[in-house]
């Protein structure tokens, strides 16, 4: 007699009918949310990619139209007086044609048409003029001879009070399927683009690192227990919560080379001989140990503003993580004679690596996309022009929406590659 092997029950490997029904119900309930999120996130991104492959300018946003200016030339004071009904026609586009164009108008009561243009037909009081295909910059006039009778003289009506209705069709450069790489070729072949790209990385890396270092220092300082700590923590949040336009103009006033407080203090203390235009001077020559290099003044000042304004965000996250750390390890380290610096380096910092990595990713993306700070402080002048400022200048200052969208695509690709590399190699802590 053999013992039967005991069969250990295992969970089913497939979903039952009830589980599948619940899954379908859950997906159906979440589908509207997913669709809304996809529409909000993906549609602007797809539209930006679409425009980047088209030679679109600001003028292309307004479709070509047949502009009609109608007026009555001549004085109609008595029955039988003649005048001329004139239609001034114009294609509003400088580049696009209008196909199968024309217009329809109603002749005012009391005016009898005696001379009709060959392109027009009159049915009762309705005038229809077929103009055909109108090229770009098209201009023309249509004149009709009219005679006034008693009805018109009794109640005269201006023809423009009942404007003519134009018709026709035109190609929309935004919706057609003609694509080109001219925008990318133009920006990549420009030497200014590579300078702007270097400035953007310089600004982003140093701005992000400075904000993290200041946030780490502030969190370490305010993690200690002392009287008035809560008030000081609230004050540290001021740069981040204050309106950017207010703090930007405050910095501009303080650092003004003529009436700024900082320049006045530096000059009177003898540290500098002449005021420094912190936001208007591109660079200055500095010699150290016989080596001379150009120090970017305006860009460094903008980076300092970036670090000062956004270190509170890093400060909040790092402080929250530090308060979650166990105090037993620090007490044991003090008993073993570890200095505060050793405690920070060997205990605090390894446990903060994860939150620092997340903060670096977020701040890098936000700083790389930053536009308002630089635009308010320098307008992109004095060597502070970044890719986001370049997007604005290409799209609106130069009126080339396609080139601006192409630069925005470059920004997206750079950040996407950086994010993928970061997620692959970024360190993580146990928290």
**Complete domains list, the chain, with CATH:** 66-170 (2.60.40.290), 184-425 (1.10.3720.10)
SS3 assignment, position 142: strand
For the stretch 2-54, pLDDT in tens is 555 566 666 666 777 787 888 888 888 888 888 888 888 888 888 899 999 99
SS3 assignment, position 94: coil
For the stretch 5-19, pLDDT in tens is 566 666 666 777 787
Tell me the β-bridge partners of 106: 126
For the stretch 253-290, pLDDT in tens is 999 988 888 889 988 888 888 888 999 888 888 877 77
Q: CA-to-CA distance for 296 and 280, rounded, in angstroms?
A: 11
Burial letters 75-111, b for 16+ CB under 10 A, else e: ebeeeeeebebbbebbbbbeebbbeebbbebebbebb
Q: CA-to-CA distance for 105 and 127, rounded, in angstroms?
A: 5
Q: CA-to-CA distance for 77 and 92, rounded, in angstroms?
A: 36
Under 8 Å between Cβ of 354 and 340: no
Under 8 Å between Cβ of 114 and 176: no
Torsion of CA 313, 319, 322, 327, to 10 degrees: 180
Confidence at 391, pLDDT banded by 50, 70, 90:
very high
Under 8 Å between Cβ of 314 and 212: yes
Q: CA-to-CA distance for 183 and 187, rounded, in angstroms?
A: 6
The 10 Å Cβ neighbour count of residue 357 is 17
């Amino acid at each position: 007699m053999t013992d039967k092997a005991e069969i250990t029950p295992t969970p089913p490997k497939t979903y039952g009918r009830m589980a599948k029904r619940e899954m379908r119900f859950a997906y159906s309930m979440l589908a509207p949310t997913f669709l809304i999120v996809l529409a909000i996130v993906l549609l602007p991104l797809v539209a930006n990619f679409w425009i980047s492959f088209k030679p679109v300018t600001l003028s292309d946003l307004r479709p070509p139209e047949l502009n009609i200016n109608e007026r009555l030339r001549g004085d109609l004071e008595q029955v039988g007086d003649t005048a001329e009904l004139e239609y001034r026609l114009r294609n509003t586009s400088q580049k696009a044609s209008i196909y199968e164009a024309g217009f329809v108008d109603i002749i005012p009561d009391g005016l009898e048409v005696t001379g009709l243009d060959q392109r027009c037909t009159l049915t009762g009081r309705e005038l229809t003029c077929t103009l055909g295909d109108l090229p770009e910059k098209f201009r023309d006039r249509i004149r009709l001879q009219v005679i006034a009778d008693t009805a018109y003289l009794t109640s005269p009506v201006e023809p423009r009070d009942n404007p003519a209705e134009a018709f026709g069709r035109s190609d929309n450069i935004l919706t057609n399927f003609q694509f080109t790489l001219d925008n990318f070729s133009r920006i990549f072949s420009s030497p200014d683009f590579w300078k702007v790209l270097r400035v953007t990385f310089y600004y982003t890396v140093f701005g992000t690192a400075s904000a993290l270092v200041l946030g780490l220092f502030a969190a370490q300082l305010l993690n200690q227990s002392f009287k008035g700590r809560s008030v000081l923590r609230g004050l540290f949040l001021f740069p981040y919560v204050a309106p950017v336009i207010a703090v930007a103009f405050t910095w501009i006033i303080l650092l003004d080379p003529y009436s700024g407080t900082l320049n006045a203090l530096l000059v009177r203390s003898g540290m500098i001989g002449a005021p420094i235009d912190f936001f208007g001077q591109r660079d200055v020559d500095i010699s150290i140990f016989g080596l001379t290099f150009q120090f970017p003044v305006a860009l460094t000042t903008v980076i300092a503003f970036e670090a000062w304004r956004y270190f509170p965000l890093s400060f909040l996250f790092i402080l929250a993580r530090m308060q979650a750390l166990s105090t037993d390890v620090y007490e044991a380290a003090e008993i073993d004679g570890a200095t505060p610096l050793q405690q920070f380096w060997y205990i605090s910092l390894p446990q903060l690596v994860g939150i620092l990595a997340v903060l670096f990713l977020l701040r890098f993306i936000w700083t790389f996309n930053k536009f308002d700070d630089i635009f308010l402080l320098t307008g992109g002048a004095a060597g502070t022009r970044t890719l986001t400022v370049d997007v604005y200048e290409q799209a609106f200052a130069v009126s080339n929406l396609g080139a601006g969208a192409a630069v925005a695509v470059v920004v997206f690709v750079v950040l996407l590659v950086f994010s993928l590399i970061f997620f692959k190699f970024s360190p993580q802590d146990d928290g």
